[in-house]
Structure 1
């Protein structure tokens, strides 16, 4: 009997040890943290991303075992390099830089839209510019070569039969950061600018410029072109497709929130800008930006192809014409799944 009792005690002890080990493994498993590296530009036109961060839509969607690491970029080119080299996983950017990067690395996918339009053509008040044709012999500033406003400007000039040149025979395009453009307009260093909001509104409010072409007349498609999109790296889509889908859902949630709660959204956008840049923005300026764009999660291959062709014609894409195939660049499978689950 003593021997039987000893055996029973040993079995009980082993069971307790095994049970404890199992619980330890389960606890360790639940504590595993996935870091999602989100990239975003410091522009109001990236508002859906700001709202998704401010309202914890990404965090709530990813779950408590996910850690979010946000990197703010000054320009799309740096963003595109970062996502192509897996420094970030997912984020918001303009189409131009990632179109260029995709042709080099083929490892980035567009998974949703964020907003369309949002840029205006502003002329300096005393520059003698009353129509687009008056831009001949003038200097027009854009934020970056190959950026969406640059491509839109080139399309607009082409529509009016004007050429881009380095002398007064055509329109001279120069690059200036938006903040520097405000100064350049004041100091009469440039005559006009095609610039994303709210910078255009700031120039108008200062009294130094007037709107020459409003946002809903800017090509292509009268302002209904993608200015900000949501993209993901191939690595992230392969390893964490579920999280990418949740990001698409959070993006749509943010777009809906802005439409339903505009005044609150303006404050939250300002708060996120302050976190990213150290400085917020007046709600009135944010409202001007949001009023001059179309928030949408939708995007089409036609949109991408049109911007790519303009970039190619401008000499920014160093490939052969037959290599301009973006059928795999756009992956709307996640967005379509999110829409079906409504």
Structure 2
């Protein structure tokens, strides 16, 4: 992402955020119940964003099984789906949604754009489920010289991961598709078709596309991203909320987290049924459920956890800086895990950390 683009995003995000704050100043009380003060008031509705993607399974299952609705009680749940992180961040900053499931790099960019005022990460959701799948004959990093590799979007989580890995292995890739390796950001459907037709040599993608490249197009794994992280854990999806909503309706946010934890617990204890629930929600949203083999492979490759794996977020930000896709940003304060840890402690479960290492 060029510096001009980053500046443009920052200006746009600041304007959107300002508009949101101004709107909040005039008539913001109508979103709260009449009981209690600002600290105990509950929102009349909560607008939750998520993606129609298997990496957002805690959201898919939570909506399908009505865990969020039950936990929120009198607060009405309104949902909105997105296909890309920047669109979700824009909706968050414009006041169109209050919270969303999202990947790490869009959250980092949103934090940077709003100068640390726009959002908080309040829980982890998903770890793992991404990597580089290539055609036969590519066995080492050196074999990628002169090859074409797809990623979902310039500057997105997988794009940053690929570029950082290439750099660590002595290969360069510029933002225009040049260099030792031609990195070609393209949407998932295009990448799947291009790989099947031989127009690209591989792709660094998340599930379910990671498994689809293997199962449907006979791709081979060159890099399973789990192998690059301590304990095999890195953040793929987490849950964020606007700071304004969190400050004004902490009780509502805690109920959202309660629904989130119930969804995670259901996935852990009811594997097969959880897969069916996630797939049913995908079908309801897109009209296209995943094939059984892709669904099973994707779930096997993902870890669903309330732990945000904070250390990996800080490392991802450093990777984005190293490859020129992010200006240095101070991420101190991006997490607010207090409400989550209260719920985990009450349930007798280990608390989670926001430590950078």
State the TM-score, normalizing by the size of structure 1.
Answer: 0.84
Q: CA deviation at 1:180?
A: 1.0
Answering whether residue 159 of structure 2 is matched by residue 154 of structure 1, we say no
Task: Summarize the alignment of residues 85-234 of structure 1 with structure 2, pairs less than 5 Å apart.
Answer: 85-105=94-114, 106-125=117-136, 128-165=137-174, 169-217=179-227, 219-221=228-230, 223-234=232-243
Partner of 2:330: 325
CA gap 1:33/1:338 in 2 versus in 1, 3 angstroms: closer
Partner of 1:256: 265
Q: CA deviation at 1:148?
A: 1.3
Partner of 1:36: 46
Q: Match of 1:265, SS?
A: helix
Q: How many angstroms apart in 1 are the aligned matches of 2:206 and 2:307?
A: 20
CA gap 1:44/1:202 in 2 versus in 1, 3 angstroms: same
Do the aligned partners of 2:123 and 2:306 also contact (CA within 8 Å) in 1?
Answer: yes
Do the aligned partners of 1:135 and 1:171 also contact (CA within 8 Å) in 2?
Answer: yes
Q: CA deviation at 1:40?
A: 0.4
Q: How many angstroms apart in 2 are the aligned matches of 1:178 and 1:172?
A: 17
Q: Tell me, which stretches of 5 or more residues in structure 1 are unaligned?
A: 1-27
Q: How many angstroms apart in 2 are the aligned matches of 1:58 and 1:140?
A: 39
After superposition, the CA RMSD in angstroms is: 2.0
Answering whether residue 128 of structure 2 is matched by residue 83 of structure 1, we say no
Q: How many angstroms apart in 2 are the aligned matches of 1:66 and 1:35?
A: 5
Do the aligned partners of 2:160 and 2:320 also contact (CA within 8 Å) in 1?
Answer: yes
Q: Tell me, which stretches of 5 or more residues in structure 2 are unaligned?
A: 1-32, 36-41, 348-357
Q: CA deviation at 1:33?
A: 7.6
Partner of 2:289: 280
Do the aligned partners of 1:118 and 1:223 also contact (CA within 8 Å) in 2?
Answer: no
